[in-house]
Structure 1
């Protein structure tokens, strides 16, 4: 839990069996921090997320050029000496050109990620350019053995999903000292990466809102042995043995409808492993409702994530509901009309 935890003088591992269970309250707090990464100053969101007596401070922030166009990969790291806790936060896609470049790089995972499997080339580049900032805080002897949360929305979720396993595989923290929660995360790597990720990170949750389009990208290799039932839309599950194409890591938490208070969600532990075909992967995204799929990507827990963060996570903010325009005009407006 992020709130109201007081630790003894000796640093003990925070995460235990209870942390393998999804905690919606905790996820909402981490969404605040993920939203804050879209702001030039995350302080207002941080102050609204953590009680003042927890003394949560920004240890470092970063914004580095991520590609030849100059788009940034950015984020920040907070430290609480009271909780003996570090939180690493990555920002999502910032500009339209960055979104396009990510798309160019998502045909299939092609870059080796430190022996853990193949991952998306663009995400790997972003990771390498931001890693020193994360590593610098975790290596600080003042914070030795502090437990670590890692989070982010969209591209930020992808960068979180690369930083977290490297934190463990490089020995900066043990596997029971790192917990990950991402929102609208795309497929980051292939099946080999997914399996290694799951071994390294037993406390990890991918929160997905309904038909959010980004978790469907890049596409996985479909299981051609599957026979869609009569009357279905023809969707097929991901091939659980193919090492080509993208493949999600665990554990998906899928909200099939909206994400307002009290909305039901599914804990996706079904088959195929990590790509549960009864969860978001079964929700086929049609071209004429792509605008809704993008709206679902931007809106988590009833807030428009980038705007919410830029507004300091003010709980009085209001946001537009789902779009009513469909087709090409609505898609262009929704995707390229927003920063």
Structure 2
């Protein structure tokens, strides 16, 4: 009996034996799996990484991918469709993060331009809207084909950085066009920028209320595009009484003040909670970034990056390289 109990504890502690059922709540273990998978697909050898990573190899299976390239958007776009090995009813749709300087600069330029109208639901970040236009048709057809027998009752969208923004836009369209279920859907983003204005955020939250924005302390990316003129009050405009149409985050923030290996706080639902991560950057933040960007990029790339004693040569996971 002692041996059986000891083996049971060992399997659970090593993530080999997992008991899982879909829930609309925030799940830190699920977030780790999706965060690592989101990081994995940003690398050249993502298929090998998913097969060999300590966490991913026992938890997810890659079903399909679609690749798109845009000269106008200065980047490559990858959408990956996976499933949990321990749950045959939940489909996962991941979008790749930014992987080049030219693509990052294109997004920064786009953030200074007017937002685009989106599905009569408000205005959205034009770069994300164009990225969604580029990727959605193929990815949407893949989702429909994979789920033609109705096996998958639940859908989770997720992504890191730009991938998180594309997951917000893509999940909204998927539900709006009745491809994805209206009830059993949730979204995880990791260090994602804002996706649209206050009107879009409110419409989005009504349609997909179970969206969790994971943010670590010191990550500058979730503060852009701007939600205010950069005030010292760390608050965001709702646009209800402003001449300018500011950006506003969707979903509920999950704040990790000391990195994703430590405790977290679930912030106020569906608002930009000033008691959690920084909401509005000041101009001094930009100068600090230009002077020394390393701490900011380190924070932005730190989401669920525990090595678990593995190396890049063992897994080909991009976050285990010195350059990541």
Q: Which runs of 5+ in 2 are unaligned?
A: 1-14
Could you tell me which residue of structure 2 aligns to residue 245 of structure 1?
246
Could you tell me which residue of structure 2 aligns to residue 125 of structure 1?
130
Could you tell me which residue of structure 2 aligns to residue 178 of structure 1?
185
How far 1:6 sits from its partner (Å)? 7.2
For structure 1, which segment, 92-101 or 41-50, has the greater mean C-alpha deviation from structure 2 after superposition?
Answer: 41-50
2:194 and 2:248 in contact (8 A); partners too: yes
Corresponding position: 1:113 with 2:118: yes
CA distance in 2, matches of 1:71, 1:282: 27
CA distance in 2, matches of 1:319, 1:298: 12
How far 1:96 sits from its partner (Å)? 0.4
Q: Deviations over 1:129-161 (max 9, x none)?
A: 111232112212134553111111011111111
Corresponding residue to 1:299 among 298, 302, 306: 302
| Secondary structure in 2 matching 1:101 | helix
Corresponding residue to 2:197 among 190, 195, 210: 190
Relative distance call for 1:213 and 1:292 in structure 2 (3 A) is same
Relative distance call for 1:235 and 1:66 in structure 2 (3 A) is farther
| Secondary structure in 1 matching 2:254 | strand
How far 1:166 sits from its partner (Å)? 1.2
Relative distance call for 1:109 and 1:58 in structure 2 (3 A) is farther
How far 1:281 sits from its partner (Å)? 2.7
CA distance in 1, matches of 2:204, 2:313: 32
Could you tell me which residue of structure 2 aligns to residue 83 of structure 1?
88
For structure 1, which segment, 37-46 or 212-221, has the greater mean C-alpha deviation from structure 2 after superposition?
Answer: 37-46
Q: What stretches of structure 1 move > 6 A for 4+ residues in a row?
A: 308-311
| Secondary structure in 2 matching 1:86 | strand
Relative distance call for 1:119 and 1:238 in structure 2 (3 A) is same
Could you tell me which residue of structure 1 aligns to residue 50 of structure 2?
46
Q: 5 Å matches for 1:259-298?
A: 259-260=260-261, 263-269=262-268, 274-281=271-278, 286=285, 287-288=287-288, 290-298=293-301
1:32 and 1:309 in contact (8 A); partners too: no
How far 1:108 sits from its partner (Å)? 5.5
CA distance in 2, matches of 1:318, 1:155: 20
Relative distance call for 1:296 and 1:78 in structure 2 (3 A) is same
| TM-score in terms of structure 1 length | 0.75
For structure 1, which segment, 34-43 or 140-149, has the greater mean C-alpha deviation from structure 2 after superposition?
Answer: 140-149
Corresponding position: 1:152 with 2:159: yes
| Secondary structure in 1 matching 2:94 | strand
1:6 and 1:83 in contact (8 A); partners too: no
| TM-score in terms of structure 2 length | 0.79
Q: Deviations over 1:2-27 (max 9, x none)?
A: 984578xxxxxx44xxx23x211111
Q: Which runs of 5+ in 1 are unaligned?
A: 8-13, 225-233, 321-337
Relative distance call for 1:310 and 1:182 in structure 2 (3 A) is farther
CA distance in 1, matches of 2:142, 2:167: 15
How far 1:278 sits from its partner (Å)? 1.0
Q: CA RMSD in A?
A: 3.2
CA distance in 2, matches of 1:314, 1:24: 21
CA distance in 1, matches of 2:114, 2:194: 9
| Secondary structure in 2 matching 1:72 | strand
2:45 and 2:317 in contact (8 A); partners too: no
Q: 5 Å matches for 1:297-336?
A: 297-303=300-306, 312=315
| Secondary structure in 2 matching 1:84 | strand
CA distance in 1, matches of 2:142, 2:130: 20
